[in-house]
Structure 1
Amino acid sequence: MELTPIAERFILHWGEMGSRWGVNRTVAQIHALLYLMGRPLAADEIADTLGVARSNVSTSLKELQAWRLAKVVHVMGDRRDHFETSTDIWELFKLIVEGRRQREIDPTLTMLRDALVSDELANESHNTEQRLRDTLSFLETLTTWSDEMLRLKPDTLMKTLGMGARISRTVRRKKV
């Protein structure tokens, strides 16, 4: 499959952004390709289009499946597995936020809670304990807010985000 110049730029950029977010470049590029194409693709078609090794595509697809960002589908008349991703940007955003929370935030919350009930806490300074409590409080507030936002329907979430931006601009103007 031949990519258009804009599709190629998007896929390369998505790969660069993935690297900055801690995601393997090829994983991000495959996700971008699946997103732009909006149809199921076989692994060999992905490998040929992106010019990457078939083994790299296979490993990357497994990672995308673990993140729930790609799934196997079957195409009538073709025995190969094909892969697709959602083309709903809100669904993708939600999956990414949930995945990052499970991998990054939840373990941090667990560690902070465990540290704050540990017998070893008595050996720490008051400042250290307070910073741990402040961090826990912040992350709990952030995850509660995030959970509430992700429960909203996309159109309601967009309105909420728009209202938040207007409130922020109003508050900044009043400070001046």
Structure 2
Amino acid sequence: MHLSPTMQKYILHWGEMGTRWGVNRTVAQIHALLFLANQPLPAEDIAETLGVARSNVSTSLKELQSWGLVRISHLAGDRRDHFVALQDVWEIFRVIMEERKRREIDPTLTVLRDCAMNANNDVDLEAATRAKMEQVLAFMEMLSATYEDYKRLPPATLKRLLKMGGTVARFLGTDDKDGN
């Protein structure tokens, strides 16, 4: 597949951003390539286009499939697997948020809740330390509950809400000094 200079820049930057978000560079670049492609691509073409090893492409595609961002597609007359990425940016956002919550927030909440239960019986734990742990747990639970509320919103409603960001912040004001 031929990449225009703009596509190359986009794919390279997506790879750089991926590393900042904790995603392997090649995984992010393959996602960007498949998102920009206007037809399903076989793994061989992905490897050739990006100049990465076929084995790295295979591993990266499995990762993208596990996230639900890429699926296999078959073309008539071609026995190879071809790959296509989700194309709707709102659906991509929803899938990424859901997976990050499942992989990062949910396990953290499990540990924080366990620590909160054990904190009452931990005689070596200072009250100030316990209070800090409770603050983090409360924050993470609020974040999780807010996500659960927002994930049910239709994309059009979420888009309107995001566009209102500054207006909502000004409406709510800045008088909450203690963060509660």
Normalised TM-score (structure 1): 0.93
- 1:75-107 Cα distance to aligned partner (Å, 9 max, x none): 111100011111100110111111111111111
User: Which position in structure 2 is the counterpart of 1:164?
Assistant: 165
Q: Number of residues paired by the alignment?
A: 175
Q: Give the drift of 1:38.
A: 3.7
Give the TM-score, by structure 2 length: 0.91
Instruction: Identify the residue that residue 103 of structure 1 maps to in structure 2.
Output: 103
Report the counterpart of residue 55 of structure 1 in structure 2: 55
Residue identity matched to 2:148 = D
Superposition deviation, residue 146 in structure 1: 1.2
Give the letter for the 1:157 counterpart. L
C-alpha separation in 2, matches of 1:81 and 1:98: 26
5 Å-filtered alignment, 1:81-120, equals 81-118=81-118, 120=121
> Which has the larger displacement, 157-166 or 23-32?
157-166
Q: 2:40 and 2:132 mapped to 1: Cα distance? A: 48
1:78 alignment counterpart: 78
Separation in structure 2 between the aligned mates of residue 39 and residue 128 of structure 1, nearest angstrom: 55
Equivalences for 1:27-42 in 2 at 5 Å? 27-42=27-42
Aligned residue number for residue 144 of structure 1: 145
Following superposition, the deviation at residue 6 of structure 1 comes to 0.7
Distance 1:38 1:114, change over 3 A: farther
Deviation at 1:170, TM superposition (A): 4.3
The unaligned stretches of length 5 or more in structure 2 are none
Deviations 1:130-157 (A, max 9, x none): 1111111111111111121111111110
Instruction: Please state if 1:153 is matched with 2:154.
Output: yes
Task: Please give the root-mean-square deviation of Cα atoms over the aligned residues, in Å.
Answer: 1.8
Amino acid corresponding to residue 134 of structure 2 in structure 1:
R
Secondary structure class of the residue paired with 1:121: coil
Amino acid at match of 1:29: Q
Moved over 4 A (4+): 170-175
How much identity, in percent, do the aligned residues show?
52
Q: Report the AA paired with residue 17 of structure 2.
A: M
